[in-house]
Chain A
Amino acid sequence: GQQLNQSPQSMFIQEGEDVSMNCTSSSIFNTWLWYKQDPGEGPVLLIALYKAGELTSNGRLTAQFGITRKDSFLNISASIPSDVGIYFCAGQLVKAAGNKLTFGGGTRVLVKP
């Protein structure tokens, strides 16, 4: 079954706000990735993390690979309307065969009405 717990499941953003989401697991991962899915499209890679403790930024996005290798978080600063979508964390288990990734359940980001 699914091994990554992603939270929150959904959130509302207001333009200009900072938002954060995280992923936790009972298993150790050697790679953490964050993908974004826009409506009607497939997911696209945002950030990849390869070392415990690593902090990486991509524009307004910042992600960290947890020290225990069992968690990761993603922050979006100064959110804008095009940040709407579903964000997935994904990890590669230490003993994963081939390139297999495990995905979290996703965080759906919506705009406050």
Chain B
Amino acid sequence: NAGVTQTPKFQVLKTGQSMTLQCAQDMNHNSMYWYRQDPGMGLRLIYYSASEGTTDKGEVPNGYNVSRLNKREFSLRLESAAPSQTSVYFCASSVAPGQGYTGELFFGEGSRLTVL
């Protein structure tokens, strides 16, 4: 059971470079999320997609863009990376409201990004 798969697991970028983090889920979930994790800050929501075709900003969207490519895939793009974006990024998915949502998010293993 793959669950939520993120690629790449590790990436080092130079300031100003761009990259895309890929995420795919095989649980037929409608909702998908991108979080970043920083020491002592917990998990902060960057963007989310409540359902295919919709995306909304979370708590810390500046410097990021997202694409909900289809029901399975939700990508996160850094157009011009900055050192402040050094973090561990997590993709997650869940059922949608009204479909038995319990608060349970299913997370990928994370992508560790370093911006020099």
- What is the interface of chain A, defined by CB distance below 8 A to chain B? 1-2, 4, 6, 9, 31, 33, 40-45, 48, 88, 90, 92, 97-101, 103-106
Residues A42 and B107 in contact in the complex (CB < 8 Å), given A98-B31, A100-B48: yes
Which of B43, B50, B105 has the most C-beta atoms of chain A within 10 angstroms of its own C-beta? Answer: B43
Q: Taking the complex as formed, is B56 at the interface, i.e. its CB lies under 8 A from any CB of chain A? A: yes
Report the interface size for chain B: residues with CB under 8 A from the other chain.
Answer: 28
> Given A9-B40, A42-B109, A42-B110, are A97 and B104 neighbors across the interface (CB < 8 Å)?
no
Contact A31/B40 with A41-B110, A42-B4 known, Cβ cut-off 8 Å:
no
> Which residue of B4, B41, B56 is within 8 Å of A105 (Cβ)?
B41
Whether the Cβ atoms of A45 and B40 lie closer than 8 Å is no
Contact of B50 among A4, A98, A101 (CB under 8 A): A98
Task: Say yes or no: A104-B97 contact (C-beta < 8 A), given A45-B103, A45-B105.
Answer: no
- Give chain A residues whose Cβ lies under 8 Å from the Cβ of B59: 1
Can you list 24 A-B pairs, Cβ within 8 angstroms, ordered by A? A2-B44, A4-B42, A31-B103, A41-B107, A41-B109, A41-B110, A42-B4, A42-B92, A43-B43, A43-B90, A43-B105, A45-B103, A45-B105, A48-B102, A92-B103, A97-B56, A98-B50, A98-B97, A99-B103, A100-B45, A101-B45, A101-B103, A103-B44, A104-B42
Pair B48/A88 contact, Cβ less than 8 Å:
no
* Closest chain A residue to B35, Cβ basis: A103
Task: List B61-116 residues whose CB lies under 8 Å from chain A.
Answer: 90, 92, 94, 96-97, 101-105, 107-110
Q: When chains A and B are docked, how far (Å) is the Cα of A9 from the Cα of B92?
A: 24
**CB-defined interface of B51-62 with A at 8 Å, one 1/0 digit per residue?**
000001011000
